[in-house]
Chain A
Amino acid sequence: MIPLTVICGYLGSGKTTLINNILQSTKKPIGVLVNDFGELNIDEQLILNQDDLTIALTNGCVCCNLNDDLGASLEFMLDQDIDAVLLESSGVALPVKMSNYGSTWPGYNLNQTITVVEGRTIKDLLSDKFVSKTVEAQIIQSDLIYLNRFSTEDVELISKLNSEYLVDDEKEILYESIFDIKNLLLKSKGLPYEDHNQLKSDVLQINHPIDEKTILKFIRENPGIERLKGWISDSDKNTWLVQKTRSECNFSISNYETISRLVVIYKDKINLETLGI
């Protein structure tokens, strides 16, 4: 049986970052399924995983989508030699529903459901006209909350919300830091953890035009960067695919139109000043 971990959380809460952090923490093969609505079609490309072990899919209601991509992908993963599967849900998916993939699909068992919460936006989301109930349900229904970019006030808010509905004493809030990734992995029996490095990852979004020179300067200033991948959009509105390994950095023109988004894997700390974010 392959342990399946469900990762929920609203758009931009940091799900991809968490997944990259998990992937960087182990050398063991982990399958990643990214289920979105096909609207942005980008997140899976920001996941730094071994070849063929990340699949993007668009799954909807069974009554309007008989081609069950997610089911087919779960079947595919069964044939791979992997130790665990991470399922990144769409921003509005509910943990109780997604957890059924772990508890229903033959060959899998449910490890746990994790909801990623971004502290700086959670207050607004919990009063949002359209998604307040969904975001609240994501927090209440998950086995574990992974809180990032938070202040004390946010922690109090989540704790309060959680304690109002808390049925399960096991549930807890983990705070973002490298030690908590370790903590998270140790607690999750289904996620293989090896303490072999201390890499972190972040997804950077840059809303102003940015060029090759600036990126190279940013890399020079931050020797801790191990890998970097994503797209940048320059002032002529050209999009460039950027790929940096430890030894080299390549830029190639891309016909993929997008805002600048980069995933960066690094040791210690990075300084974002050069990028203006």
Chain B
Amino acid sequence: MIEIFKAKSVITVNPSMPRAEAVAVRDGLILEAGTLETLQPWLVNNEYSINEQFKDSIIVPGLIDPHLHPSMAAVLLPTFFITAMEWKLPWGTTPATKTPEAYDEALKRACTNPTHKDLFITWGHQELWHGPISRDRINSIESRKPVIVWNRSFHELCMNDAALDYLDIKEEDVKNASQIDFVKGRFFELGLGFAIQKLNPFILDPEIFSNGLMKLKEVVHFGGQTTIADMAVGLFNFDNELNAQKLIYENEDTPFRVELVAHATAMTSLSGGGLEKGEELIASLHEHNSHHLKFGKRVKLFTDGAFFAQVAQLMEPGYIDGHQGEWLSTPKQFEEIARIYWNKGYAIHVHVTGDLGLELAIDTLEKLQFEKPRFNHGFTLEHFGLSTPEQVFRLSKLGANVSANAYYLYELSNIYANYSVGYERASSMARIGSCFREGVTTGLHSDFTMAPAQPLMSMWVAVNRINEKEEVMSPEERITPQQGLEAITINAARILGLDHEIGSIRSGKKADFTVLSQDPLTIDPIEIKDINIEATVFEGKIFDIN
């Protein structure tokens, strides 16, 4: 049975036929995009139906988020969001809370309903907007029930008296700890590590964790995504992560597929051997492949520290306050491990945040290209916080892809201009326009929960380059709406090596669509993030979004 999806317009992202009015689908595959007339040859001798549900809507290729972390999301989504930025979530929009008074008000309203058994955990506190947090401050809002306030950066949390009692954290145990301020109830960095040990039974509780994965399923659908990538399986515990995802996502109700990319060093540890054993283990992972969850020949590596935590490695002149970034791999070992996967033909995805972290990845790629030249190799620079124009030129010549987190620019560029790296570098974070000009395959991702899992939001930032203070940052690095749409469809598919199957609407590809109320290419670009997503179609099956 052939089903024809009629639309006001179909944006195919197929350069040879950019627009259509209808798409014919059979058994989850696209037969053709075109008009009712051009589709006729398929219909003459076959049964078909015409679906007019989307006749007043715009169909685009199913949106793709090529980098997020389901396990992190599963930990975070059961918490209650009180955030400085607006977060649109399927169960309601979290409004932007920008003052200390508003924060206290929001916490007071929410904290009577525990999120984790008897505990209430909220995520999103940021001192810059919400003022300093302390035990006394939370006590004054809620003194009897245990309340935990987790910072937006993840690097700090604060508890009230009831929470300290509940978790059995006593003053005599922690009074001399340099990264625990017991008086203020604050736990940061290693102190946070200590607090997390106490919290793990709650946040990693199988029931709560599964509930978190279920919530992510809703979030991904709500964002209009039909493909996501888990860009570091093995982050917490490989078997648990894989099994939980199989359990929750491997069924007919899941409107997306998950491309799984293994965390190289975690797998090396798991293999119990050296680098070669780690590679052999990764090479065998395809045995786990099922309909919705698949491992390809890809691997995840890391160079430098987290962008939100200001531990990205920077080239001169570094951070304004002179602090040091951090390496997540020893540079020499990074090269050794990259060489193993390069020589075995993998697509290597490298987490890079600062320009020095990026430089390490590019220098390594240059060496590997010299030793064993490869084409269309899929070496991808993930996140792409700070870069230089010269690096964009080099990575282009070396054939690398870029998967950028454009949302950094929205949330961080004003603060980082003033307090971290200065205006020039902050304004050009996520230097995406240059990537398009140099012909680099460039995609956008959320790294959820670093940014909302909403590709249209990522596209909006990349097209407008407006930050949360409504300043336009380096307008020269803006991209066109057409390029923006490519970045969250066909380019994201190329980055995952799936462009032969998904990422555009053309004969032979999977029937994955996202249905929009307005046309993202002709609407005023400032409204792109507010376009209503009506439904998605995954392999021919409609999943409405209410």
Contact = CB atoms under 8 A, between A and B. Distances in A.
Interface of A: 10-11, 37-42, 58, 60-68, 70-72, 75, 90-92, 94, 97, 100-101, 103-107, 109, 128-131, 133-134, 137, 255-258
A35 to B, nearest CB: 12
Interface in B133-190: 153-155, 173-174, 176-180, 189-190
A62 B154 contact: yes
Contacts of A255: 273, 277
Contacts of A66: 75, 196, 200, 203-204, 236
B265 interface: yes
B192 interface: yes
Nearest to B268: A38
A249 to B, nearest CB: 23
Given A39-B329, A94-B326, A257 B305 contact: no
Given A37-B328, A103-B178, A75 B197 contact: yes
A256 B75 CA distance: 36
Nearest to B313: A130
Contacts of A257: 273-274, 276-277
Interface in B303-361: 305-306, 308-309, 311, 313, 324, 326-333, 336-337, 356, 359-360
B178 A62 contact: no
Given A63-B153, A65-B236, A71-B196, 7 more contacts: A40-B333, A41-B268, A41-B274, A63-B306, A97-B326, A109-B176, A129-B363
A66 B197 CA distance: 9
Interface in B103-129: none
B269 interface: yes
B46 to A, nearest CB: 51
A47 to B, nearest CB: 17
Interface in B270-326: 272-277, 302, 305-306, 308-309, 311, 313, 324, 326
Contact of A38 (B193, B235, B266): B266
A196 to B, nearest CB: 33
Contacts of A137: 324
Contact of B194 (A60, A103, A106, A258): A106
B274 A91 contact: no
Contacts of A10: 330
Interface in B68-116: 72, 75
B480 to A, nearest CB: 33
Contact of A61 (B236, B309, B333): B309
A104 B269 contact: no
B322 to A, nearest CB: 10
Interface of B: 72, 75, 153-155, 173-174, 176-180, 189-194, 196-197, 200, 203-204, 232, 235-237, 265-266, 268-269, 272-277, 302, 305-306, 308-309, 311, 313, 324, 326-333, 336-337, 356, 359-360, 363
B274 A61 contact: no
Given A38-B266, A41-B269, A130-B360, A63 B154 contact: yes
A97 B311 CA distance: 12
Contact of B197 (A38, A68, A101): A68
B311 A100 contact: no
A104 B190 contact: yes
Contact of A40 (B236, B275, B302): B275
Contacts of A61: 305-306, 309, 311, 326, 328
Contact of A133 (B237, B268, B324): B324
B125 to A, nearest CB: 14
A106 B277 CA distance: 37
B265 A37 contact: yes
Given A40-B275, A103-B176, A62 B333 contact: no
A131 B337 CA distance: 17
Contacts of B190: 71, 100-101, 104-105
Nearest to B267: A38
A172 B164 CA distance: 42
A244 to B, nearest CB: 22
A100 B326 contact: no
Contacts of A41: 268-269, 272-274
B237 A129 contact: no
B273 A39 contact: no
A39 B333 contact: yes
B235 A65 contact: yes
A104 B186 CA distance: 12
Contact of A100 (B155, B179, B203, B356): B179
A4 to B, nearest CB: 12
Nearest to B264: A39
A60 B328 CA distance: 7
B235 A39 contact: no
Given A61-B309, A91-B330, A104-B179, A68 B265 contact: no
Contacts of A128: 331
Given A66-B204, A104-B177, A104-B180, A90 B330 contact: yes
A257 B275 CA distance: 8
A209 to B, nearest CB: 17
Nearest to A42: B274
A15 to B, nearest CB: 12
